[in-house]
């Protein structure tokens, strides 16, 4: 479980840290080893969105993130959903500001008995996990 918590906070930190002058491939290279293939595909499509890249370049936007585990939402036989607090320090041509988000991040066991991030979304949007009687 400690490894899953460590992976989840590392993923959130890597996800929330970016710079307008960094190519999407470099950003994605940090996320790939932590994500399931399905999630990585979604991340790659999102990172390649030209309008987001153009806006960040125009605003010279960069963010440095710091993630902390808040609580365990669900523990299942092969997954764990954690609530993560993600704080981003964002710099643009307009100045600096902070953004704080609460994310529900799902880590799943892989075939080699390690962990990978399978899903994430705002904590208040759902991601309740396995709510069957076997989950705690």
For 54-113, the pLDDT digits (tens) are 999 999 999 999 999 999 999 988 999 999 999 999 999 999 999 999 999 999 999 898
Map residue 121 onto helix, strand or coil. strand
pLDDT digits 0-9 by tens, 21-35:
999 999 999 999 999
Residue 133 has pLDDT above 50, yes or no: no
State pLDDT tens for residues 112-125: 989 999 999 999 98
The pLDDT, as a whole number, for residue 127 is 53
pLDDT tier for residue 131 given thresholds of 50, 70 and 90 = very low
Residues whose CB is less than 8 angstroms from the CB of residue 23 and which lie 6 or more positions away in sequence, other chains included: none
Region class of 113: left (phi > 0), else alpha (psi between -120 and 50), else beta: left
Q: pTM score, two decimals? A: 0.88
Tokens of 133: 């009687």
Q: Which of 90, 87, 105, 129 is nearest to 34 (CA)?
A: 105
């Amino acid at each position: 479980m400690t490894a899953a918590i460590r992976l989840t906070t590392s993923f959130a930190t890597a996800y929330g840290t970016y710079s307008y002058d960094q190519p999407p491939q470099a950003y994605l290279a940090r996320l790939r080893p932590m994500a399931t293939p399905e999630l990585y595909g979604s991340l790659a499509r999102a990172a390649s969105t030209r309008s987001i890249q153009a806006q960040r370049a125009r605003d010279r936007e960069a963010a440095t993130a710091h993630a902390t585990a808040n609580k365990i939402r669900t523990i299942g036989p092969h997954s764990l959903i954690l609530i993560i607090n993600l704080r981003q320090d964002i710099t643009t041509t307009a100045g600096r500001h902070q953004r704080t988000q609460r994310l529900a991040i799902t880590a799943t066991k892989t075939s080699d008995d390690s962990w990978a991030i399978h899903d994430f979304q705002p904590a208040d949007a759902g991601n309740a996990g396995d709510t069957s009687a076997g989950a705690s």
